[in-house]
Amino acid sequence: MATWMGVKSIENVLELTGIYFSYENQTVLEDVSLSLQRGEFLGLVGPNGSGKSTLLKIALGSYRPDRGEVRLFEQPIRRFRQWSRIGYVSQKANSFNLGFPATVWEVVASGLYGKMGLFRRFNKAHRIKVDEVIEKVGLTPYASRNIGKLSGGQQQRAFIARALVSDPELLILDEPTVGVDAHSAEQFYKLLSHYHREQGLSLILVTHDVGAVTTYIDRVACLNRRIHFHGDSQEFVAQQQKILSDSYGHEVQVVEHDH
């Protein structure tokens, strides 16, 4: 958090301003503005095809918007080079190649390549770091097991360990619990909440699980081509029926369940 003349200013780790994006002639994102402050946990919700994954790819520099500006850690994305400050977890549980010949330890260790460079050798400190992160996600007994032999929930913990091993300041997760059973999903959310609370990790989680949004997350953004809501999670809970109905374009019935 930066200071100036003794006054603290809040740093945006991500800032999207006036984003427009189209595939061919189809508008996917329209005048989307969204920010994430350091230490926030933001849930991004919306129907399938609403532009959530596209927005993440724009935030990560994979897509260039038709109009608008992206800033990472207060820098225009075109000048940003410190990609090890950002971790990313995608929908691996549903699409991972079960025959991929790598152990859990090797998959997690690969998350250090961006920070250390491809041609540097692993040293003792690197190995200790990989072991520590694997332990934190509860996979020590499976460290030498082939990643394809794990359950969906265990695979996702391995992928979050891979994202966390380089000590990122921002972690972005795109529907990481798709194809994962309810118990594993709950453990996954608790793990994220731990890193958020204990280490001040900034997070963006794309999810359809409104229960997770209302239980674990600080702020919520509801997207369907444009932003329909961006605010405190408690405010979202108080208005979620209306917000979701407006965003989805039809009446939505919210079903409560325990986590």
C-alpha distances in Å from residue 10, one per residue of 59, 64, 177: 19, 26, 31
Q: What pLDDT is attached to residue 184?
A: 80
- Residue 69 β-bridge partners: 17
Q: What are the pLDDT digits (tens) for 222-232?
A: 999 999 999 99
Which residue type sits at 31? D
Q: What pLDDT is attached to residue 169?
A: 94
Positive or negative, the CA dihedral 111, 115, 119, 121 is negative
CB-CB contact of 61 with 77 (8 Å): yes
Q: What are the pLDDT digits (tens) for 205-226?
A: 998 877 777 788 889 999 999 9
Domain architecture of the chain: domains with CATH: 12-248 (3.40.50.300)
> Has residue 250 got a pLDDT over 70?
no
DSSP code for 259: -
> Has residue 143 got a pLDDT over 90?
yes
The Cα 179–Cα 95 span in angstroms is 9
Q: What are the pLDDT digits (tens) for 114-132?
A: 776 655 677 888 999 999 9
The rounded mean pLDDT for the chain is 85
**pLDDT interval class at 2 (50, 70, 90):** very low
The Cα 100–Cα 237 span in angstroms is 41
Neighbour count for residue 230 (Cβ, 10 Å): 17
Closest listed residue to residue 43, CA positions, set 222, 225, 244, 176: 222
Closest listed residue to residue 156, CA positions, set 88, 86, 92: 92
